Amino acid sequence: MKIIPLSRKSRLTPRSKSAAFSLVEILLVVAVIGIISGLAMTYMGGTSEHSRSLVARQQQVQLQTALDAWITATASGTAGLAAAKAAYSTDAGAMLTALAPYLREPGIFTASGGGLSSSALAGIGKTLQFSSWSEGSYPKVLMQ
């Protein structure tokens, strides 16, 4: 059996005092991490509001597409565009019911205060409303 002598810098010896972190160094690292996380949170806060407004815009486009499909389907009968114009209403609740078959997600909208709302729209303080159907132009879905 061979005996191996331990070197002077063995793992069994305790660390010297100069190798430990001082309180000032630890506080400095904590302060730097705090500054970096504060900057990151500021950047991320603006991103989430931007994404909410993009979702609200997508919902407006979805509702406009459903409205256009509803007008096309309603006007395709013998009465034509006059039937669609007679069935159209600026009342958000009535139009939400009429447009439900044409929406991918009809459950995301709720009729409130003369307009339509959703969680994304409420997040940016907006509602969707239907414009009046004037002569020579089709109705639009407006974000207000």
Q: Cα(114)–Cα(92) distance, rounded to whole angstroms?
A: 6
Q: Per-residue pLDDT for 96 more than 70? A: yes
Question: How many helices and strands in the chain, by DSSP H and E?
Answer: 4, 4
Q: What is the pLDDT of residues 35-46, one digit of tens each?
A: 999 888 877 777
Q: Cα(38)–Cα(73) distance, rounded to whole angstroms?
A: 53
Greatest pairwise CA separation for the chain in angstroms: 107
* Contacting residues for 92 by C-beta, under 8 A, at least 6 apart: 111, 112, 114, 115, 116, 128, 129, 130
- List the domain range (segments joined by +) for residue 57: 53-143
Q: How many domains does the chain have?
A: 1
pLDDT class for 33, splitting at 50, 70, 90? very high
